[in-house]
Structure 1
Amino acid sequence: MKLLITLIGLVLVLEGLPYVAAPESMQRWLHQIATMPPHLLRRIGLIAMVLGFCLCALAQKTGFFD
């Protein structure tokens, strides 16, 4: 449970960082995302999920990150 809470906290820090560092750029970027077709957003989300899963699997199953 401690690891889960730590990971959620880290995700929140990483998600909030661009808003603190460059809020104007984030507004422009979010506007661009809002105008993208849903199928493209779905594809980008799926790719991000697969990459994230692969990174997690790599970190857990190998000694690569030790």
Structure 2
Amino acid sequence: MTLTVTADYRDLMKATNAYDELVSEGYPREKLYFDRETHQVKVIVPDATRPEAEEILRRHEPVELWARPFEEG
């Protein structure tokens, strides 16, 4: 299953650092979404790589972190 993992930082610098680390770890930009207004970073991943993505996002101290099934739209 494909999931969307979302991290809410409420801090632009933390969100930027999380996004940059995902890019540097090889996550394709077309699978990443960075909302600069809400300071949320989203990454679309297969279920098998969810733990690695969540670990990267958690390193930057999100206020909240959640995963949902990916919905194309």
Structure 1 length-normalised TM: 0.31
Q: Which has the higher contact order (CA 8 A, sep 6+)?
A: 2
Q: Which has the higher strand share?
A: 2
Q: Which has the higher helix share?
A: 1
Structure 2 length-normalised TM: 0.28
Structure of higher CA gyration radius: 1
